[in-house]
Amino acid sequence: MRKLILAALLGLCAGLIEVGGSLMTPWLSWRPLLALVVVLLLASERSRTFAAALGGALLIDAYSIGAFNAALLRWIILVFILDFLARHLLTNRSLTAALAMTLAGRLLERFSSWIFGGGLYGLGWILLWDGVAVTAGFLLLAFFTKRFLPAVRQV
Amino acid sequence: MLRPNRWLFFGGICLALLFLTLAGLLRPVGDVVRFVTLPIVRPITTVASKFRGSTPALTAADVKILNDRLTALAVDSAKLHALAEENAVLRAQARFLSASGYDSVGGRVINREIHGPRALLLIDRGSRDGLEIGQAVITGAGVFVGRVSTLKERVATVELETDMGSRVAAAISNERKLIGVLEGKGNGATTLTYIPSTEHLARNQLIVTAGTDEKIPGDLALGIVNEIQSRPTDPFLSAAIEPLVRMDQIVLVSVLRPSAFTK
């Protein structure tokens, strides 16, 4: 339960940065929620990933411009799709897999936002920062927790 | 693959969320979230706005155009100053100002969507601050930038004058009559349309609000005439109007509200 609440709080923090940083020039604009979701999907349980995504999406919805953004709904569907990719299409928990999920996730997130009136503005810079964030998160987790080391069976 | 009952569970959650969002039942949750997080979002946006990018360097041609405009505006300014003094005397005699005055409430931009046809801002003021839909929004220098389009308790959306849906009645500075409609064209552009062909517009003329829109006072600066477009067969002229401020650089705004709402 504590880890679930911690994941939700991390999601809220990521959501705050997404909302507050939206005024920055595109080449500095960082949206950390997707990076957090991808790293949690690979390193933790699905329920914690949902908690983080819901926490961040709640803030994005609260500060969205326009009448209907449906960030909560979009992020739930996004986490389900990314979880499906992680379990059934990607063969291992590697940095490459994390970056592939990040790319797929960002394109899906932007496309779903575009359906509700958002834009594809600054997508290049956002993808670049996504890659940097996921790489940093993956390497930090791998270094401190050893979660991504392959299991070695003694013969 | 997910088991069928998990797909049903997932589908149920999605449908429930969609229903709750469309029915507006999640609005109280949003209000609580904004009440708790607005004191944190404000300082974050203050820091973030310092990295909003700089204006591009001016070329020699830009400087010449700006100098020409400055000269034209200086002449208008002198005339306006004289008229303002006369107006103040007349208003004081008629006691008109106290009955029709406006006051303003300041707001900070906390989110922005300016790309393509859309030009919207989210500010940290809402209905609890006395805002109403349709009220004029100006920058600190008194330039009209848009109007309040949607309202929640603690935040409001401002539709900027460059938004495709924006329409504002306009007049020429120093003249009181309605001359056309300023329409947003997206991508930072605006056009003054429905200008009677008998009107004489000139480049660098200042366009202001006509005062015929409800809740938008007159004589708020809108933009400068850039290029006049006409064809012999058209009954109306149109003109490209250049906004006086860069919409993506706006950080602080003021919303004009009738003084009757102040407490």
pLDDT confidence of residue A71: 87
Q: Quick check: A70 and B33 CB within 8 A?
A: no
On whether the CB atoms of residues B166 and B159 are closer than 8 A, the answer is: yes
Distance from CA of B153 to the nearest CA of A (A): 12
Residue found under tokens 């490459």: A96
Q: pLDDT digits over B36-81, tens only?
A: 888 888 888 888 877 776 666 678 888 887 877 887 787 778 778 7
With 80 as the cut, is the pLDDT of residue B100 above it? no
- Exposure pattern of B2-28 as b/e (b: 16+ CB <10 Å)? eeeeeeeeeeebeeebeeebeeeebee
ipTM of the complex: 0.75
Q: Quick check: B17 and A72 CB within 8 A?
A: yes
With 80 as the cut, is the pLDDT of residue A132 above it? yes
Q: Quick check: A28 and B51 CB within 8 A?
A: yes
- Share of chain A residues as helix, strand and coil, in percent rounded to the nearest 5: 70, 0, 30
Residue A117, SS3?
Answer: coil
Percent of chain A whose predicted confidence (pLDDT) is above 90: 37
Q: What angle do CA B18, A113, A135 make, to 5 degrees?
A: 115
In chain B, what residues touch A76 (CB-CB under 8 Å)? Answer: 13-14, 17
With 90 as the cut, is the pLDDT of residue A94 above it? no
**Confidence bin at A119 (pLDDT 50/70/90):** low
Better-scored residue on pLDDT, B23 or B89: B23
Does B49 lie at the interface with A, CB-CB under 8 angstroms? yes
Which stretches within B50-150 are classed as H helix? 60-94, 97-100
Tokens encoding B231: 């064809």
Question: What is the average pLDDT value for chain B, to the nearest integer?
Answer: 83
Written as one letter, the residue type at B216 is I
Q: pLDDT digits over A136-148, tens only?
A: 988 888 888 766 6
Distance from CA of B179 to the nearest CA of A (A): 31
Q: pLDDT digits over B148-187, tens only?
A: 999 999 999 999 999 999 999 999 987 878 899 999 999 8
Give the residue from A94, A83, A90 showing the smallest Cα distance to A142: A94
The Cα B218–Cα B173 span in angstroms is 10
Mutation for B interface: A60, A65, A112, most B CBs within 10 A = A65
Does B215 lie at the interface with A, CB-CB under 8 angstroms? no
**Confidence bin at B262 (pLDDT 50/70/90):** very low
pLDDT confidence of residue B119: 93
Distance from CA of A138 to the nearest CA of B (A): 26
With 70 as the cut, is the pLDDT of residue A69 above it? no
With 80 as the cut, is the pLDDT of residue A7 above it? yes
The Cα B257–Cα A37 span in angstroms is 43
Better-scored residue on pLDDT, B19 or B117: B117
* Mean pLDDT on A47-56: 92
Residue B243, SS3?
Answer: strand
pLDDT confidence of residue B189: 92
Q: pLDDT digits over B186-226, tens only?
A: 989 999 999 988 888 888 899 999 988 888 988 889 999 99
pLDDT confidence of residue B97: 38
pLDDT confidence of residue A133: 92
